[in-house]
Amino acid sequence: MILKAKHNIFIYTFFRWFVIRKMRRSFHSVQLKGDFTDRGLPVLLICNHMSWWDGIWAFHFNREVLHRKFHFMMLEEQLRKNWFFKYTGGFSVTKKSKSIIETIYYTAELLQNPENSVLMFPQGEIQSMHLHQFHFENGIGKILGKTSDPFQIVMLANLVDYFSDVKPNVAIYFEEFSGKPVKNEIEKAYNDFYGKCIRLQQLIKS
């Protein structure tokens, strides 16, 4: 049986305050770069996974742009260790387990509610920030196969540069996916999007 998200207003409010404070102390800047047209639908967030910070940055993006109840998939062993994440939108996934089917159905169920956003890291693991080509695991395809109601897919790319600053600068690029919601097309679109973000980032001067 999976661990489902149970948003708690007090823990969620504290976590929101913690995120703001943590980012202000840790980074020189955190910039959001992109466009999003809110059509009043649930949102599936697709994001690269290079660090512990990725979920924090996605939470920030959700708070600033999407304004939805935030959910995110997390390895069960990590969610049990960091139990408070369950009360900020975390729900569990266990690879190579029968319970993964329950996780797929639960994620699809979340994407039927227009008040929700769901964050996924289709890579399935943390990988080097220097990786520029991504391969998505099968989980995203199985979730898409269980969804029938319309929802929006937003691609996120987190990029970090120091330039001449002591603390790092974070750029959170985002773009809505508008193609056919199948794994291979989303994977290709994400790789094209990420490559474009890298080129844009290279044009920035300190």
Q: Tell me, yes or no, whether 143 lies in a domain.
A: yes
pTM of structure: 0.93
pLDDT tens sequence across 127-159: 888 888 999 998 899 999 998 889 999 999 999
Q: Tell me, yes or no, whether 195 lies in a domain.
A: yes
Q: Tell me, yes or no, whether 58 lies in a domain.
A: yes
Q: Structural domain of residue 16, as residue ranges?
A: 9-202
pLDDT tens sequence across 107-131: 999 999 999 999 999 988 888 888 8
Q: Which helix (H) or strand (E) holds 20?
A: helix 9-26
Q: Report how many domains make up the chain.
A: 1
Closest by alpha carbon to 183, among 98, 117, 122, 130? 122
Q: Tell me, yes or no, whether 3 lies in a domain.
A: no
